Homo-oligomer: A and B are copies of this chain.
Amino acid sequence: MESGSTNYRNMINFCRRWYDEKIPFNRVLGFRVDSFDGDAVCVKFDMRPELVGNHVHGFLHGGVISAVLDATGGLTASIGMLSKASADDLKQFEDRIARVGTIDLRVDYLRPGVGDHFTATSRTMRAGRKVTVTRMELHNDQDVLIAVGTGTYIVG
């Protein structure tokens, strides 16, 4: 499917709604897709009291960080299947997205998760028939790099 076509945009919007509205835990965390750009994805969320892991210092919980990196990488892997999808098989595409799964994830916590807003970005390192590998970064609103991660996803 060509990346500028109407069907491609329809499917991108489908992915966005899937991610923002259909995944309950993403809603709990307040994750929202900000932009897609080729094989790169950007997800944003706001600091909230219930996302705190260290009440002494008010840092973001490590589990929130791993969750957003995993989810952003998984969305990138899903989007990556679009270029191989034919233009009129939205149903088939839905079935395939529902089967995308994380095989493994590494997260490196570089600096404390302080900030009002956070942005997770992801780009594809390997896009195979069976497996996609993505690298992710999390920045705060001061553009400080909080964490990086690498995810391996089953696709196809």
Contacts and interface: CB of A to CB of B under 8 A. Distances in A.
B70 A63 contact: yes
B150 A150 contact: yes
Interface residues on A, range: 35 or more
Interface string A18-61: 00001111111100000000000000000001111111110001
A29 B25 CA distance: 10
**Oligomeric state, in number of copies?**
4
A124 to B, nearest CB: 10
Interface of A: 22-29, 49-57, 61-64, 66-68, 70-71, 74, 98, 101-112, 125-126, 128, 130-131, 133, 135, 145, 148, 150, 152, 154, 156
Given A28-B50, A62-B105, A105-B105, 9 more contacts: A23-B53, A25-B63, A28-B51, A29-B63, A62-B67, A108-B126, A108-B133, A130-B154, A148-B150
